[in-house]
Amino acid sequence: MKNATTPTGREVMLDEHDFLVSKTDPKGRITYANRIFMRISGYREEELLGRQHNILRHPEMPRAVFHLLWETIEGGRECFAYVKNLCKNGDHYWVLANVTPDYDRNGKIIGYFSVRRKPRRDAVDYFNRLYSELLAEERRTGSRDAIAASTKLLERAITQQGFENYETFVLGH
């Protein structure tokens, strides 16, 4: 289910020591959330468990970022990403997320973990600007071609700044 919460534009600041943790099943349904994650996002455990992780999705996040995230983790690799998340009351918070696959002993993916921490302010400023450009491109091109078009913009930003891929780009900011 999509998140129908209206953003307030108010930002919640994380503390340096906050680590927001969640786990999902292979389809992205939440199976675990730690206390600080619940406190910051404003949801109780029973409101999160079993729900799709897009319950936090902020409407200003470009689709290209989540496309890349899923492509990476379903391919068995870890993903780092700057994400703007929506709280239950419409406030938002920025995180630097590290999402990793979890395997069973036969090497099959049985779920995913996400650990999020407070990003540097200059990185938030940069990704805020970049994401609004990607979002504008997605809106301009329309649903069918949105992800391809904004991914191209994202790739251009990565190479223009001399980075090899999204991971080194994210970690380099």
Ligand X SMILES: Cc1cc2nc3c(=O)[nH]c(=O)nc-3n(C[C@H](O)[C@H](O)[C@H](O)COP(=O)(O)O)c2cc1C
Rounded to a whole number of angstroms, the minimum distance from the CB of residue 141 to ligand X is 16
Using CB under 6 A, list all residues that contact ligand X.
22, 24, 28, 53-54, 56-57, 61, 66, 70, 83, 85, 99, 112-114
**Nearest partner of 165 among 80, 67, 63, 76, judged by Cα:** 80
Name the residue nearer to ligand X (CB basis): 26 or 163.
26
Name the residue nearer to ligand X (CB basis): 53 or 173.
53
Name the residue nearer to ligand X (CB basis): 54 or 161.
54
Rounded to a whole number of angstroms, the minimum distance from the CB of residue 159 to ligand X is 25
Name the residue nearer to ligand X (CB basis): 113 or 163.
113
For residue 5, what are the contacts with CB-CB under 8 A and spacing of at least 6? 86, 87, 88, 89, 90
Rounded to a whole number of angstroms, the minimum distance from the CB of residue 162 to ligand X is 28
Any idea what the Cα angle at residue 88 is, between residues 77 and 134, rounded to 5°?
Answer: 50
Rounded to a whole number of angstroms, the minimum distance from the CB of residue 166 to ligand X is 15
